[in-house]
Structure 1
Amino acid sequence: MKDPQNLIVFHYHLLRGGVRTALLRSLQCLAHEGWPAGRRVTLVVGRAEGARSFAQTLETLVPHVSVIVDPRLDYRDTPWPDAATFSQDVRALSDAMLSWADGSALFWLHNPTLGKNPAVTAAWKEAADRAWTEGLPCRFLYHLHDFPECGRMANMERLRRCWGEGGLLHIYPAVPNTAYAVLNSTDRNRLVGCGLPPERVFWLPNVLIPSSSPLAALPDSRRTAMEKALADYALAHAYVFHPSRPRWLLPIRLIRRKNLMEALLLAALHPDGPQVLVTLDATSAQEKPYADAVKQCVRQKRVPCVIGFGAELVGTAFSFEELLTFCDAVVTTSLLEGFGFTFLEGPLQGRPLLGRNLPDVTMDFAAMGFRSDGLYDTLPVPLENRHRVRLLDKGRRFAVRYAEIVQTLSRKDLDRFMARLETVYGASSVDFGMLDFEAQRDLVGEARSGGLKGVCTAPMEPTRMDEAASEAFFARFGPTAHARRLTEAFDALWAAEHGVQGASTDRDEGKPEDDVHACLNALFFDPVYQRPLFGGW
């Protein structure tokens, strides 16, 4: 059997969503290139739901996929009673993790530092450190889709306060048997700038799967059937659906960082009053209060917007490809993305894209011909003084509390955040994405009553992609290129220095491991990343 003999893949769960889809496609790409042949593939998760269907889908390409369900790997919000109990649980979990190796193993860990379960974060780090000091034939690839330091105060609080007032300060292993993968080059530059060796930080963007055929025009009968299905759904869920208006599609889940109220503002300002279609509702307890508030606003104000139909209709009443054809444009108003599939999904299928640009993400697409000049980086809006005063106060209180939780932020960091608040909310107009739901709701209501006409404008020139650009994207991000990046990362990590019995865990010539976490906290301590809508204000 080839080294590594085992590929052990971790995520907290395999429920339907972004990480599951990305992981499944990555494993399928690896299988098509033959990398898993002669190796054992094991999925380790914290809950059974979704795991078996994932494995069954994968088994058509990778035989004998094993699944380990360990509830200790699932999300956990409850703190531990004391440090000793936490340490005992972490040790028991790291023992289990190393026992899964059963020979040489590459552990491919998805979002292990995210703060969904502090014991999992601590145990994976301990497992990597122990494998190094004990000379075990193990490697660890930390695949970071998201960062706890970026707009996730609740996650940071879980990490920092695992028991009482104590918690984790070190979450990024520094030992040479561990490497990191990120979805965009901006995040790679951040990690390298924070002291991780460049050769141990890999750029691994998500894969783009080419469509089997171009989108075909919808026959009138299918268009009529889709209109009826959406109208029936809207009626059953108290939404407004106008079949004759232009259709804007947001293929998203209704979570805070997707910033749906901004799309509703754009629609209210548009002369044709487009019909907004949002595919998926929120499912997590953390996101449901926001989603419920948005849905209440949409229903009360009779906004032409239908939310959550995808779970019921896509794949039954019509396909996603038909939905794309049915709509006139894809819209993105997201405030935070990793890979940025939201920018490509429509244009690669020939649909125009409207909305907000995220330069940290789209800079990776420019060389392939992606034009972001039709998108806007900010959406300036007038803001009532009561909202300015309220948001400034909320921001200041957030900053103080966040600094108390994080502990490593300096007085200079805090002063810089406070100064940024004054700049943002002291300007004559404020970016709509820097508002909380209350202020956003008021402005959408004002726009719907005609109060912002001529005062608030946004570039609405659709971004399109020609055939040459599409071909360049699939050459750069398609299955073959994706499999090559993955195997190169796996091979480079496996060829790295082996641990030996008694080796030190402090092997970096750059900054020590605690500085990486502290550095990221300082970099992301900015209102642009800790926004009022999702940052924990």
Structure 2
Amino acid sequence: MLHAAHDFCLTRFTLCEIYILCYLLKIQNSEIFIMRIAIIHYHLRPGGVTKVIQNTLKALEKSSLQFIVFTSESPSPTMPVPNHAIVEALEYMQPSKTYPSARDVLKELHQKARNVLGGLPDVWHIHNHALGKNVILPELSALLAQEGQLLLLQPHDFAEDGRPENYSLLREHFGSAQLLGMQLYPQGHHIHYALLNQRDLRFLQAAGACREQLHYLPNAIATENLSPGDLPQRQNISEKLYLYPGRAIRRKNIGEFLLWAALAESENLFALTLAPQNPLAKPIYEQWVAFAQSLNLPVKFDFADQWQGDFNSLFASAHALVSTSVAEGFGLAFLEPWLAGRPLLGRNLPEVTTAIEEAGVNLSALYARLDVPLAWVGKDQFIQEITLSVKHVYQAYGRTASNDDIERAVAEAIHDKSVDFGKLNESLQQFVIQYLVNAPAARQEIQPPTLCVSEPDPAMIRQNRQAVLEHFNLDIYGKRLMQLYQTVADSEPETLNDINADALLTQFLAPERFCLLRT
């Protein structure tokens, strides 16, 4: 039985040919060749990254690959992950605890990999290594890179993107910007990056990453229980339900969803599926619950907990699904509705949806801005809020905001005499909603004036559903990932370079991206 790089000396070209042959023939327990993959993540709790890891194992379960998944704790019974091994030092860092060195952690990984795989991994696939939840994972990744190990680094989120506490932890630990770039984003032919969207790929390239090492790898979505034929039938429910799936955290822009509820017709019902779990997010969420109740808005909170059935039946009960989010990573919210046979309404996010639309998903019913008269909130008050917040965020990242930074943030939010509602903070959003409740006719002054311009087009829903099934299914994901593993395995180690960490931070802190809901 052959193993890459460790047991026999084969040319890279020969290895690549064997990978392709094994995958196309779907050889299991092959006596020809097996590639060993080590996946690493902080935890396997229910959530997006755990689902990605599950999809990886499922998509490639018939391949010739062997997997081990390193994590700090056992997975939840609701989201099982096979072949996992516990390494406690991978957990979210706790200030009160003492942790081993990265080199000691690597020794533990090596031993457990040998026990499970029979040898050292051929490819190390590490998720969110630079997120700043602990300092061991980026140190470990840098150590592997220095040793010439073949790496696939997959950032789902960035410390540079609205997570100043995480970034401060990394900056304080690693010191200078040059060291930060080397530790967080090592560069070399043997180090590859899998990106969820084209924005992250573009930002890394602008910071100096080699384009050949950057790969667009969109997530897969669950399609195994769906048929490509008729659309699911809407279940009986007395109201016309507008459903907002996901946890009602701050960046989901809950106020905008409530604005549409305030302007809804009497037979409409608006519902958010899940309350936030993070204790820090609960106070703002509870303020929105109390605000909606005070105005008697037709809104249900934590609706999934009240629903007698699964998520599929909940989606099927909806007239339409809604997203008003101001920031996403992959953009699952722009794909799932079509699989349920329901239209999607609300806010578009071109940063993440461009590639989705290029895959044939029609998102023309979404708006890029929700403009309300600036006079309703007061120009001076809004500019003051922006000025204070921009300065605060920049300071949290170790920078000083210039007048030009503030002017660019204001210019992006204000167009003519209107301001984008999604750029307002909660207090200003509540003021606008209260105004519209008191003066419903004023809705004609906002743009767009309605959430749904026309009735859903069944033909477009079918077209979008087919595009999602074709381009984001598990089989396609498996083929993309297998090809990526092959590319990584075909790489030759070289002397390391680094990206410009300051340049990457500049990309994420661009004033045009600034939003009060992300402070």
Q: Decide: shared fold, TM above 0.5.
A: yes
- The code of the aligned residue for 1:341 comes to L
1:155 corresponding residue in structure 2:
166
1:117 matched to 2:120? The reply is: no
1:437 corresponding residue in structure 2:
426
1:466: how far off?
4.2
C-alpha separation between the residues in 2 aligned to 1:71 and 1:299?
44
C-alpha separation between the residues in 2 aligned to 1:425 and 1:482?
37
1:7 matched to 2:20? The reply is: no
Residues 450 and 208 of structure 1: CA distance in aligned 2, closer, same or farther (over 3 Å): same
Bigger mean CA offset, 480-489 vs 423-432: 423-432
- 1:25 is aligned, of 29, 32, 55, to 55
* Map 1:308-347 → 2, pairs under 5 A: 308-311=302-305, 313=307, 317-347=308-338
1:492: how far off?
0.3
- 2:486 is aligned, of 484, 491, 501, to 491
Q: Is the 8 A contact 2:242 2:268 kept in 1?
A: yes
Aligned residue for 2:336, secondary structure, equals coil
C-alpha separation between the residues in 2 aligned to 1:79 and 1:119?
15
Aligned residue for 1:338, secondary structure, equals coil
1:44 matched to 2:57? The reply is: no
Q: Is the 8 A contact 2:43 2:91 kept in 1?
A: yes
2:281 corresponding residue in structure 1:
287
C-alpha separation between the residues in 2 aligned to 1:323 and 1:425?
35
* Map 1:335-374 → 2, pairs under 5 A: 335-374=326-365
- 1:523 is aligned, of 487, 507, 517, to 507
1:259 corresponding residue in structure 2:
253
1:198: how far off?
1.9
Residues 154 and 395 of structure 1: CA distance in aligned 2, closer, same or farther (over 3 Å): farther
Aligned residue for 1:112, secondary structure, equals coil
1:484: how far off?
0.9
Q: Is the 8 A contact 1:160 1:406 kept in 2?
A: no
Computed over aligned residues only, the root mean square deviation of the Cα atoms, in angstroms, reads 3.1
Residues 173 and 330 of structure 1: CA distance in aligned 2, closer, same or farther (over 3 Å): same
Residues 290 and 529 of structure 1: CA distance in aligned 2, closer, same or farther (over 3 Å): farther
Residues 46 and 403 of structure 1: CA distance in aligned 2, closer, same or farther (over 3 Å): same
C-alpha separation between the residues in 2 aligned to 1:146 and 1:431?
25
Please give the per-residue CA displacement for 1:49-108, whole angstroms capped at 9, x wherever unaligned.
52x6544xx5xxxxxx4322233222236399xxxx99x744443444455543341221
Q: Is the 8 A contact 1:388 1:425 kept in 2?
A: no
* Map 1:418-457 → 2, pairs under 5 A: 418-424=406-412, 427=415, 428-450=417-439, 452-457=442-447
Aligned residue for 1:365, secondary structure, equals helix
Q: Is the 8 A contact 1:159 1:168 kept in 2?
A: no
Which stretches in structure 1 are left out of the alignment for 5+ residues?
A: 59-64, 133-137, 228-243, 507-511
- 1:467 is aligned, of 456, 462, 484, to 462
1:215: how far off?
4.7
Aligned residue for 2:152, secondary structure, equals strand
C-alpha separation between the residues in 2 aligned to 1:415 and 1:174?
35
1:431: how far off?
0.6
C-alpha separation between the residues in 2 aligned to 1:218 and 1:422?
43
Give the number of aligned pairs.
Answer: 472
TM-score by length of 1: 0.79
Q: Is the 8 A contact 1:281 1:308 kept in 2?
A: yes
C-alpha separation between the residues in 1 aligned to 2:87 and 2:381?
45
2:8 corresponding residue in structure 1:
none
Aligned residue for 1:373, secondary structure, equals coil
% same residue: 26
C-alpha separation between the residues in 2 aligned to 1:475 and 1:165?
45
- The code of the aligned residue for 1:159 comes to L
Q: Is the 8 A contact 2:261 2:297 kept in 1?
A: no
Which stretches in structure 2 are left out of the alignment for 5+ residues?
A: 5-33
Bigger mean CA offset, 145-154 vs 253-262: 145-154
Aligned residue for 1:127, secondary structure, equals helix
Q: Is the 8 A contact 1:176 1:496 kept in 2?
A: yes
Aligned residue for 1:161, secondary structure, equals helix
1:72 corresponding residue in structure 2:
89
Q: Is the 8 A contact 1:79 1:164 kept in 2?
A: no
Aligned residue for 1:6, secondary structure, equals strand
Aligned residue for 1:248, secondary structure, equals strand
1:29: how far off?
1.0
